[in-house]
Amino acid sequence: MSPKPLPTPNPEFEPALDLARSGRFGEAIQSVERAIGRTDAHDALATPAALVLAAIARLAERAQDFVAAECGIEQAVRLRPQFADLQYQLACVRIARGQRLEARRALEKAIAVNPKYVAARVELAMLDARDGMIGEALGALRVLSNEAALGDPRAFSQGLKRLEHAEWDEADTLLRRALRIGDTELNERLDRFHALMRAQDPAQAVEVLREVLPRHEGYPDLHHLLGAAELRLGHTDDALASLGRALELNPEFHEARFHFALALDAAGMAATALDQMNLVVVGDPKHRGAHEWMRMHQSRHARSGARR
């Protein structure tokens, strides 16, 4: 059976990105809202729209326009609240704006979606420390050090000592270095990946992610993006491995399970794909793509039965 291609990115979002690159962030956000508001495929566009809004928010944040950044990422979270990375990005913007209580809520949601989200757990520990709960923060970080690979154990130890003395900024820098958090290169690679996918170049997009994935093995979102791109290329076995890893890290990642089911179907395992699609619908009853696939599967099954 030949692989089934993934839907191509919607070109209606390109003007929004062009506006954001020129610094017109408010207009960019409105452009995305108009694009998804004037179509009956709102659910199908929710994921690409959320990713575009997150990219707009990152551009606004780099330009120090935190109001626009918060507006963009809030809209992205409304579209896809189950995406841990979006919740984390929202938390970081709110920390930058001094909204610590709201940031804490976003971090807790990110961790609820992905309990192994290292960056979110560190950020939450730093919030605890700044709120006077230094003992709790130190305890959480020590637990984390036993679960996550430390790139620089010495920096981690120094970070804990700085934290004990309430030297927040120094501790934060050391801990991030030790755990390889806040990787500027990763953000740039993600932007490059999405640009390549919009340009219909999934082969190059795959290479961009594969170069950084070994340093961020615990990020289910990266495995999901890689698997989706591999599936578009028709590399079914690779896609199954990548998407399976995303689900291993986060079994509640419905979008990864949706693409995992597509990969199973492309590999000729329609019955297993149907089981996975049913799980997607249970977790996300409004998932348009899953419902469309199930209707197509039912129609195929009916035609096959008629021929027999």
Task: Give 36-61 pLDDT, tens digit per residue.
Answer: 875 444 566 788 889 899 999 999 98
pLDDT at residue 9 tops 50: no
**CA distance linking residue 279 with residue 92, whole number of Å:** 32
Contact 45, 54 (CB under 8 A): no
Q: Which of 1-15, 40-54, 71-85, 216-230: highest mean pLDDT?
A: 71-85
Return the CATH fold of 1-96: 1.25.40
Q: Taking CA 161 as the corner, what is the angle to CA 178 and CA 168, rounded to the nearest 5 degrees?
A: 80
Lowest mean pLDDT across 46-55, 141-150, 230-239: 141-150
Q: 119 CB contacts (<8 Å, ≥6 apart)?
A: 88, 179, 181, 182
pLDDT of residue 108: 95
pLDDT at 182: 63
Domain segments of the chain as ranges: 1-96, 116-182, 184-302
Domains 1-96 and 184-302 share a fold: yes
Q: Which residue has the higher pLDDT, 173 or 96?
A: 96
Question: Long-range CB contacts (< 8 A, 24+ apart) of 90-96?
Answer: 91/120, 91/123, 92/61, 92/123, 93/57, 93/61, 93/66, 93/69, 94/70, 95/123, 95/127, 96/61, 96/66, 96/69
pLDDT exceeds cutoff 90 at 284: no
Please give the Cα distance from 46 to 33 (Å, whole number).
10
pLDDT above 90 coverage of the chain, percent: 47
Is 264 a residue whose pLDDT tops 50? Answer: yes
- 70-94 burial code (b ≥16 CB/10 A, e <16): bbbbbbbbebbebbbbbbbbbbbbb
| H-helix or E-strand spanning residue 18 | helix 14-21
Q: Is the pLDDT of residue 142 over 60?
A: yes
Evaluate whether 113 touches 285 at the Cβ level (below 8 Å): no
275: tokens are 């089981």
Q: Would the pLDDT of 8 be above 60?
A: no
- This prediction has a pTM of 0.61
Q: Which CATH number fits domain 184-302: 1.20.58.390, 3.40.50.80, 3.20.20.70, 1.25.40.10?
A: 1.25.40.10
Buried b / exposed e across 163-186, counting CB within 10 Å, b at 16+? beeeeeeebbbbbbbbbbbeeeeb
How much is the pLDDT for 218? 67
Residue 138 confidence (pLDDT) above 60: yes
- CB 180 within 8 Å of CB 187: no
pLDDT at site 3: 34
